Structure 1
């Protein structure tokens, strides 16, 4: 591994105190030699992170993380120790001399050598030059991104690179021939080459675009190796970080990245030909404050946006702002800018919905009725469940609850682990023994007319939307074509979900020592639903106090008061 002497490490760490580095990444309030701010290692509302510039030390009173300036740079730049020392030295203008016995260092040198060879080869090839002109890629962009042209003959690649055949095999540029393992051929042939760089600018792999119009894959990446893992890298990230901006534009292709860069949007990055991964989102989460997903306007692009939404929710930190740019059908960022200009693209960016608005437009607002709402709730449940505990998660729960009208309490229940503990005071035996009898009595009474019709209507009037299929089943014959029609209209999964929630409501308000007849069961459930609706109305009233145009606030207050009176009557009847 790379070895750096202690004296050189001390030279770097003593050149600037920890405050110099912390200010690059955090908002801090300085009080003498100390400073305070929100901890970068965990989510919090009140600052508990402190640094001492005299001792070059940080400590969080919340999560108890501690370290020095090198540890801080390692965290924010995603570097290992010796990489952080080199990074800090470069920023300070300090030259570090190191002994290097890391076998990967030689591979970095060879990758850089091959990239330069490809770049030189392209500059002499008319086909490659004409292709770049046709795509309106400038010479400055070609140099910035080290674009090149592959060398198609193994012997020529060996000769011009002065790298041995076996080393080129190990690096993934040569492959053994299937018929004769002693012979090799080039992995990249007739391809425009896009070098992929890590955060330090070292070349770790390549993407190649076919220029021969053959039946081969249009794009081909380097094989997975110790240097290159396509799930953990983003094309263009090095250039994006060099621009010092805090806004990223996630696109699908190499040319899209270069097109945005040419037009001043220097934060453009792209996954390596696959759906964006959690690791790639984590990188964006760390280095940028705003992320715009700008995928193609076709169905594949829509699917990519959904996957990006899911992966973002899994790792999203408080303070990260995420937007979704919708491109017209048939366009990617490259074609859209070439056709309409960068100003039109900037307009799309300005109008892009944020994550909450996109979730509303894409899923919630499209609901046409109870079944749709239930389907969306089931779809969103695992996404929210995977989110880290944060203010963003709480805000999303409240947002979805308000938009669906399901109530935040219900939504929070849906994002709990799949096997929650029984509620306090509830005998688990109830679910196995008493609940089936309750269902039998309830269904039998409903079919025979034994349930008080007024109670049943009250229940229907006030129950949450997720219980509607279950209530409809109370009125349906349990055999014959009508039941078949019911199950076709209301998906079995929706019915099962409704039964699960409906059953839990019964369990929560029943015990083995307190049997409840069918009519009183309906009363108790109605009470619960009234409480839910009142809370929902209060939430709406609080929300709309700043916007009188959306709803008639007086009407809501009147309805709330009416519900309170009804709740009081039901409570009296339930005693």
Structure 2
């Protein structure tokens, strides 16, 4: 069985490697990764790490590594096909049943009768024409019942200039018995590329199409980069341009058949936006009508073997090519193109469909911090509310989602063109985080100054936060955030030194910073747990983490009760804890849930690097030295990537 690469990629995209490996290996959250004891060799301390964002695992002890497919092949000693069948069943993706099904990307090219070669009075010209004729298909058996000749009779016939064939009433277009050979099967990707080139070449011939792009502010380089084109008015222009590829064009939905049985082209009198997949291959087209009377205004290619609009994002390939760091989901093609031309390469758009979990998951693989733009009208609010239900289950710890509400009468395209890049970026930076957006949304619906209104807000919030991943701190942090916003949790407040610097890391060592965060946000322990294997046991933070390890599973769901529970469990250290809480401004620093999670992650990485370097100074053995150095190298890469993404 031959499995196309695009099917393999689709299965891997839909497989959560943490869930898959977690069924075989006991994994613990460690910052943004998951760690456990390696199943491929004997070890007591965990050196096996799973990276959800990269869909990848790696053991620093035995160097085992790979994706979900490799893991199942190695752990069960199974072959590739067996593993793919299991994963295909789990993800609901159909595999080709045999080699014939694997040819779904192919289609039969049609034979086209060649026109007759007019009698030539120039022997050299005739020979030249013959040399450029299509080569016969070597796979086609040729049966020639005629006797062999030293010369080709038809060629000899044409080389008699004094012979007047019209006297015999011959059809000048007639070419006796000569037919163009049938070409080999066509490939849909190749056909799409040829059609894209055809549409590009039509653009210079349409003043209306060129005026449309100029009116939208697009320059020649931008038009070339996005390969924009034009589909003529002719109802059969593709049939005329690609007479041998009618079957392929129908498979792609670019040629339709009317009820009366007549074929016609889907895209006519429209500017064309080629749509590329993550590998840069043209897989479909979007067409925008140039006549406002033509409905609908936008048409996309229908789904086909190579085009699945619910899984694609317009501009993703181009953004990756330009090494975009910040990603923004907008509504339309022109928004994406205008932002790229203005200097914002990370804009993407769905293909005429509402955003879904696949779209957001794809973007989170580019960066853990993404933004979605919405119109400021009622329809935009409804779309934002719908997106919440889709996005919340995807918000694992460390992921950050912002909502960019456009000013009235603006979309991203008009905003960046009329207000400029600086204004656009400023408004983007001011876009509310998910927690602030939810609070603003709910406080508009209910009267938050009354007990009844507060109760309704909390009821709605609980429904929303139940959609968040159960394993992680974000759902607890956001509930705490709402309670503080609504005036709950007034009984216990740490004594805050209002003169303390917000950048108190300068005055307070990272260990105390971590302790303060753990006291105020107990569920951030998942970020610091990994430190237990690296720190000296006599450190205060190490002793606090040991306490957390024993009580973490029993922590109450309520944030305030969890804090009381931790303070009671750590009462033996109450003097040190009181002093740390008084000289830090932890409550202000971690007011937003996203900020608390981000600071905890950064602090943990910093401490991991510190204690790894300390252990490297006095390794117990050569193998431990090698292992610690590998860990440090990996950690340094992670810190570097984090800095780049920010």
TM-score, structure 1 normalization: 0.56
Residue 398 of structure 1 corresponds to which residue in structure 2? 480
Shift of 1:201: 1.0
Give the superposition deviation at 1:326: 2.2
Q: Number of paired residues?
A: 366
1:57 aligns with 2:138: no
1:533–1:327 distance in 2 versus 1, CA, 3 Å: closer
After superposition, the C-alpha distances for 1:311-362 in whole angstroms (9 at most, x for unaligned) are: 1112122222211122211100111111111110011012112111222222
Name the CA distance, whole Å, in 2 between partners of 1:535 and 1:54: 43
Runs of 4+ in structure 1 deviating by more than 6 angstroms, as ranges, are 1-4, 26-29, 536-539, 541-545, 547-550
User: Is 1:349 matched with 2:428?
Assistant: yes
- Give the alignment partner of residue 585 of structure 2, picking from 529, 543, 546: 546
Hey, what's the Cα distance between the residues in 1 that align with 2:48 and 2:215?
51
Distance 1:391 1:195 in 2: 42
1:230 is displaced (CA, Å) by 1.9
- 8 Å CA contact retained: 2:275, 2:284: yes
Q: Matches of residues 481-500 of structure 1 in structure 2 within 5 Å?
A: none
Shift of 1:382: 3.4
Q: Distance in 2 between matches of 1:123 and 1:393?
A: 55
Counterpart of 2:351? 272
Per the TM alignment, residue 307 of structure 1 is displaced from its structure 2 partner at its CA by 2.2
Larger fraction in helix: 1
> Which digits, 9 at most, give the CA deviation of each residue in 1:83-105, with x for residues without a partner?
xxxxxxxxxxxxxxxxx964326
Q: Aligned equivalents of 2:559 and 2:67: distance in 1?
A: 46
Aligned partners of 1:348 and 1:147: how far apart in 2?
A: 29
SS of the equivalent of 1:39 reads strand
| Cα separation, 2, equivalents of 1:318 and 1:184 | 53
Partner of 1:149: 230
Looking at structure 1, the residues matched to 61 and 564 of structure 2 have their Cα atoms a distance apart, in angstroms, of: 49
CA distance in 2, matches of 1:59, 1:168: 36
The counterpart of 1:310, out of the listed 385, 389, 405, is: 389
| 2:50 aligned residue (39, 45, 49) | 39
1:170 equivalenced with 2:251 (yes/no): yes
Indicate the SS of the match to 2:271: strand
With over 3 angstroms needed to count, the CA separation of the structure-2 counterparts of 1:189 and 1:372, relative to structure 1, is: farther
Query: 8 Å contact 1:230–1:272 — kept in the other structure?
Result: yes
What is the alpha-carbon distance in structure 2 between the residues aligned to residue 543 and residue 152 of structure 1? 74
Match of 1:285 among 364, 379, 384: 364
Structure 2 unaligned regions, length at least 5? 5-31, 36-42, 75-86, 88-100, 107-186, 490-557, 566-577, 590-646
- Quick one: distance in 2 between partners of 1:248 and 1:287? 8
Change (3 A) 1:176 1:51: same
Q: Is it true that 1:232 corresponds to 2:311 in the alignment?
A: yes
Could you tell me which residue of structure 2 aligns to residue 209 of structure 1?
Answer: 288
| 8 Å Cα contact 2:236/2:265 also seen in 1 | no
What secondary structure does 1:375 align onto?
helix
In 2, the alpha carbon distance for the partners of 1:536 and 1:51 equals: 35
Does the residue aligned with 1:357 lie in a helix, a strand or coil?
helix
Partner residue, 2:208: 127
SS in 2 for 1:209: strand
For residues 415 and 331 of structure 2, the distance between their equivalents in structure 1, rounded to whole angstroms, comes to 13
Helix, strand or coil at the partner of 1:205: strand
Partner of 2:269: 190
Deviations 1:106-133 (A, max 9, x none): 1111111111111111132111111100
Task: Report the secondary structure of 1:348's partner residue.
Answer: helix
Judged with a 3 Å threshold, the aligned counterparts in structure 2 of structure 1 residues 27 and 145 are, in CA distance, closer, same or farther, namely farther
Structure 1 residues 205 and 370, CA, compared in 2 at 3 Å: closer, same or farther? farther
1:343 and 1:119 map into 2 onto residues whose CA distance is 33
- Kept in 2, the 8 Å contact 1:402–1:536? The answer is no
Contact map agreement 2:191 2:248 (CA 8 A) in 1:
no
The equivalent residue for 1:137 is: 218
Please give the root-mean-square deviation of Cα atoms over the aligned residues, in Å.
4.2
Partner of 2:329: 250
Cα distance change, pair 294–115 in 1 and its aligned pair in 2 (3 A) = same
| TM-score where L is the length of structure 2 | 0.50
Q: Distance in 1 between matches of 2:583 and 2:564?
A: 10
**Which of the pair has the greater relative contact order for Cα pairs under 8 Å at 6+ separation?**
2
Are the equivalent residues in 1 in contact too, given 2:33–2:50 (CA < 8 A)?
no
